[in-house]
Amino acid sequence: MNFDKVIDSRRSIRSFKTKKVKYSKVLEAIDAARKAPTAGNTPTLVYIIIENPQLKDKIAELSDQHWIADAGIIVLVCSDDHALESIYFDRGKTYARQQAGAAIQNFLLKITDLSLSSCWVGSFSDKLIKQIVGIPNHIQLEAILPVGYAAEKPRFPKKGSLEKSLYWEKWFIRKRPTPFKDPPTK
């Protein structure tokens, strides 16, 4: 898919067809995720691939988001902050969250490129999900990424204008010294 098309067509999808998802496609998306930038080139993430229906049901229940169980495959994104904290101290924790976000976005874009769909799920009971999957206490569960074929076509959500997302030269200076206009949308 063309790059702009991938960016523009990615949507959070919360309804999936029963069509089976090949794990090899999910591996391609994880491969894209692990190529995201990392502070000091220090990797911190592992991805747990879940296909077992009972485990999927349990994760959906512990997230209080029952649609998750309908995904063909669920990926749990997990961070071990230790290496980053030992290099960057307190900032290491911030870097760990940031590089998880970068990896998750790469994953979502590759999933879109493969004509699959997902949704970044951040609301769940960390403790209980970690328990049932055997994730050690010191590991952060960053996100749940259910993957499937979309059974819905949500509208493009309001994202605000480009112009309103900008300051120029200094905090809160909304006007460019020479007039600025949003580029035309396609």
Ligand X SMILES: Cc1cc2nc3c(=O)[nH]c(=O)nc-3n(C[C@H](O)[C@H](O)[C@H](O)COP(=O)(O)O)c2cc1C
- What is the spatial distance between Cα 100 and Cα 180, in angstroms, rounded to a whole number? 33
Minimum distance from residue 158 beta carbon to ligand X (Å)? 9
- Residue of minimal CB distance from ligand X? 122
Interaction of residue 141 with ligand X, rule CB under 6 A: no
When binding is defined by CB under 6 A, the residue of 121, 129, 141, 147 that contacts ligand X is 121
Interaction of residue 12 with ligand X, rule CB under 6 A: yes
What residues from 49 to 108 belong to the interface with ligand X (CB under 6 A)?
65
DSSP-H helix ranges across the chain: 3-9, 23-33, 53-63, 82-88, 90-113, 126-133
Interaction of residue 160 with ligand X, rule CB under 6 A: no
CA distances to 61, 73, 127 from 64, in Å: 5, 18, 14
Q: Choose the binding region for ligand X from 8-16, 20-28, 41-49, 164-172 (rule: CB under 6 A).
A: 8-16
Residues that bind ligand X (CB under 6 A): 11-12, 14, 65, 119-123, 157
